[in-house]
């Protein structure tokens, strides 16, 4: 699936990102981090993104949304695996629509695009995380049929803890 045009929204074009989009992807990442009040945590750069998204061992994919030929948003996703289902899944790492393009169905179109990819790849689920204070996003996901996994707690091992664990 390389490109998808939303019929009810002829002004919207969704496409899989290419290496030519690395600067745009980085700009979207920084805008999302700013919105989430996490800009201080962004260490990604063009080189890292190029290697991670388009190198020999790409680890994620990106969908770009363009509205009237203007970059409007993006979704970053990767394949995971459910041992319970015995099938792959898609994990939505990031979804972001620029403020000036919100309310036009772009976020829904991006998720619909990912759902189509999940079905094509025989995935058992599409999932992601949302910050607990981000009420608009939580409400949005619920309107799409998403269920909050309140009994689950995300854990993360990074930086020095990751290095220390690798040595034990």
| 150 φψ region: left (φ > 0), alpha (ψ -120 to 50), beta (else) | alpha
Please, where are the H alpha helices in the chain?
22-35, 46-54, 106-120, 135-143, 159-166
Report the DSSP pairing between strands 12-16 and 3-5. antiparallel
The active-site residue out of 4, 67, 91, 141 is 141
67 is catalytic: no
C-alpha 57: how far from chain center: 18
Catalytic residue list: 141
């Amino acid at each position: 699936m390389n490109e998808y045009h939303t019929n009810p929204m002829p002004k919207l074009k969704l496409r899989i990102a290419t290496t030519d989009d690395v600067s745009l992807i980085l700009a979207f990442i920084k805008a999302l981090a700013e919105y989430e009040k996490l800009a201080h945590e962004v260490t990604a750069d063009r080189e890292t993104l190029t290697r991670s998204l388009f190198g020999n061992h790409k680890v994620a994919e990106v969908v770009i949304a363009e509205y009237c030929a203007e970059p409007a948003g993006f979704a970053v996703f990767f394949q995971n695996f459910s041992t319970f289902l015995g099938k792959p899944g898609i994990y939505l790492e990031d979804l972001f629509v620029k403020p000036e393009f919100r309310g036009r169905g772009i976020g829904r179109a991006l998720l619909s695009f990912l759902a189509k990819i999940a079905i094509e790849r025989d995935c058992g689920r599409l999932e992601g995380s949302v910050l607990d204070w981000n009420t608009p996003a939580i409400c949005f996901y619920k309107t799409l049929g998403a269920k909050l996994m309140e009994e689950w707690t995300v854990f993360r091992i990074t930086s020095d803890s990751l290095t220390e664990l690798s040595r034990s």
